[in-house]
Structure 1
Amino acid sequence: MLALWIGIAAALAAPQEAAVESAVHERLLVAAESSDQVFELSFDGEDLVIEHVLEVGYQATEIEGPHGLTVAPDGRHWYLSMAHGKPNGLLYKYETGTNRLVGEAELGLFPATMQISPDTGFLYCVNFDLHGDMTPSSVSVVDVEGMVEIDQIVTGSMPHGSRLSPDGSRHFSCAMMSDELIEVDAVTMEVARRLLLTDGTELPTGGAGHAMETGEGGEEVAPARAAVSKPTWVQPHPTRRVAYVALNGAHQVVEVDLDTWTIARRFPTGRAPYNLDVTADGERLVITYKGAQSVGVIDLASGEEVARIPTSRRIPHGVVLTPDSSFAFITCEDKGATPGSVDAIDLRSLKRVSSVDVGLQAGGIALFPRSARPYFER
């Protein structure tokens, strides 16, 4: 009889446990740059919900500017770049499940977006450098086990959009004020190639007739020039040997052939494309239009924009996509004391299905692996 009751109890409990497990589809982190907060959100397929708010930084009287977010591939830790320092910014390491600060490292001027390589295990963070003259800045390389910066690779002026190839062997970033796409060998930590994005011509890295100049440390850097296209983000395709670059100043996205290192296609976009991501199935490109209060969805086979979806706030910023290519999550800034927001967009219906207000100037955004359990589920 006892065994029978145990069996019945287990049968009754199983559907409930399955329901609890499926109630939350995704878990997100969002940085509010002008309120020094990180928001943890859940999404059940219909509604975005704020589960926890973490106050970050160490200067009570200063806005320190939490900017970039990334989660370790194993989901055990997450990382936050703090843009404003004295003068250098910081990288913070938090333990997933407790949100306990477990490490920090000083980086360069205005550290921004970042990603961890599955190949080297190192974190690569661009130092955006908003200070003074538009001189070449760098990518910081960090050993996240010991939280030690092991190198700063000089790239271009105002580097942004730090992203790695799917295998983690190559690092890509945009030099916003020198109109370049820059490829770094993630193993040797040296600049491998540069591509001028203004008209599709290649900017050589050496040899006869090259257009490079020598920096203070003897490294080759792009010559000073007025930015035209102002690239702000790069995203490699998950399966094809191409990468996509948002040209904020030209209202275009370019497709770069990584084998020939040339621009293969140009797509017209809404005003001021800023961040972008490619769906895991490789079929669509999702772009935030910072100057058009909307998100664009481009079919990569045809190159046509299939939808332009209005956002809940005036200045769309970051974008992450679910691993099943079903949803996009968008951070939106606004102006003055108006709070930022996060939007959930259904990529099947091509409609915004949920929005939630967060802190001021919502920017950085990251998605937890589905196996990771963040703070609010502990």
Structure 2
Amino acid sequence: MTGGPAALAGQTGDLVIVTAEGSHEIVFLDGTSHQIQARVPSGVAPHNLALRADGKLLLATAPAAGEVVVLDLQGPRIHGRITVGAKPHSAVFLPDGTAYVTYEAVPMIRRVDPTTLSIKAEVSLPEAPHNVAVSPEGQVALLTSQGSSRIWLVNLQRDQVTEKIQTAGSPHDVAFEPKGQVAWITNWESSLVFRLDLGSRRMIAVPTGGKSPHHLAVTPDGTEVWVTNHRSQDVTVIDTAGREEVGRIPAGRGPHHISFSRDGRRAYVANNISGDVTVIDVATRRVVGQIPAGRGLHGVAVW
């Protein structure tokens, strides 16, 4: 893949980007030196992040401000803001460069164009969505609903909800395996995650061994899914083939989002309460760094 964000002065490793809700900024870190490279004031309480596939644009939702902040990573600098209203929560880029934005307060998602800072389409839902993921081939999106036991499937070509999938819990976050036929979903009020086969629609529960599975990410090679456990303050490693826990790694206090480096060698966890980023060597499953970054960390993206 060509392109990517501009290298920051002194940067030697992965570019790790986190939202700091408490200090109202987006923080750029060096994954090797563990130094802060830049702080970009973003406005009120940036929450979740979405990084475009070419690494040049970044979206940050700002629920309290009712907007999506668009950052040009060639700076980094703010490219502009999309006023979307109604507490935007999560965002994800689509194959054509537009993005879906979910809302905590209203039953809909919107498709936005980060380049022109405009709203392109609106998709009505039976209930307010929470987190969203797009399948690797770019055909469908899966949405969780906060406080609901349902998952919604959206056809990206038609911007239309096509199916409701019932779970046996409180689905919170969702991530696809690289081949696209399997998705993993955290079950917030439990110690379980769900594995959903989109071909058969078969869903099974897999124990994490932790408390309150919150967010998750699949390794680039698809062999493992890593789950942050908010209340037990650790990360569970699950073998995607064996569908069982194969490791547990300590994190900071209140771990939220997790993301892998593009080569799969490092994992980065944004810790909301302790305000730092846990750096983990994926091969050894050992913590190799704890980077203080700001107050109220939540979203994380890596290039």
- TM-score in terms of structure 1 length: 0.74
Deviation at 1:260, TM superposition (A): 2.0
Q: Which whole-Å deviations, capped at 9, do the CAs of 1:47-91 have from their partners, x for residues lacking one? A: 42211111121xxxxxx2200112222222222111103xxx101
Give the deviation of 1:99 after TM superposition. 2.5
Structure 2 residue 83 is the aligned partner of structure 1 residue 106: yes
Residue among 155, 167, 178 paired with 2:137: 167
State the 1:156 CA deviation. Answer: 5.0
Supply the distance in 1 between the matched residues of 2:79 and 2:217 (Cα, whole angstroms). Answer: 30
1:342-378 deviations in Å (ceiling 9; x for gaps): 011111111111011111110011112xxxxxxxxxx
Structure 2 unaligned regions, length at least 5: 1-8
Separation (CA, whole Å) in 2 of partners of 1:109 and 1:331: 25
In structure 1, distance between residues paired with 2:17 and 2:126 = 29
1:27 and 2:3 equivalent? no
CA contact (8 A) 2:215 2:227 kept: yes
Gaps of 5+ in 1: 1-20, 58-63, 130-135, 199-228, 369-378
Closer/same/farther in 2, CA of residues 56 and 230 from structure 1, 3 Å limit = same
RMSD between aligned residues: 1.9
Higher helix share: 1
Aligned position for 1:15? none
Q: Separation in 1 of the partners of 2:225 and 2:98?
A: 27
Relative to the length of structure 2, the TM-score reads 0.92
Instruction: Report the CA distance shift for 1:158/1:166 in structure 2 as closer, same or farther (over 3 A).
Output: same
**Of residues 150, 160, 163 in structure 1, which corresponds to 2:120?**
150
Tell me, yes or no, if the aligned pair for 1:157 and 1:177 is still in contact at 8 Å.
no
User: Displacement, 1:30?
Assistant: 0.4
> Residues of 2 paired with 1:158 and 1:251: CA distance?
24
SS in 2 for 1:348: coil
What letter matches 2:284 in structure 1?
S
Q: Cα offset for 1:258?
A: 0.5
User: Aligned pairs, how many?
Assistant: 295
Is 1:310–2:250 an aligned residue pair? yes
Which whole-Å CA distance do the structure 2 matches of 1:37 and 1:103 have between them?
Answer: 15
Q: Give me the whole-angstrom Cα distance separating, in 1, the residues matched to 2:19 and 2:269.
A: 12
* Identity among equivalent pairs (%): 25
1:362 aligned to 2:302?
A: no
Structure (1 or 2) with the greater strand fraction: 2
Structure 2 residue 42 is the aligned partner of structure 1 residue 56: yes
CA distances 1:13-37 after superposition (whole Å, capped 9, x unpaired): xxxxxxxx99723101100112201
AA matched with 2:281: D
Superposed, 1:204-283 pairs within 5 Å as 229-263=169-203, 265-269=204-208, 270-283=210-223
Q: What does 1:336-351 align with in structure 2 at a 5 Å threshold? A: 339-351=274-286
Alpha-carbon shift at residue 155 of structure 1 (Å): 2.8
Equivalent in the alignment of 2:261: 322
Residue 126 (structure 1) aligned to one of 95, 102, 114: 102
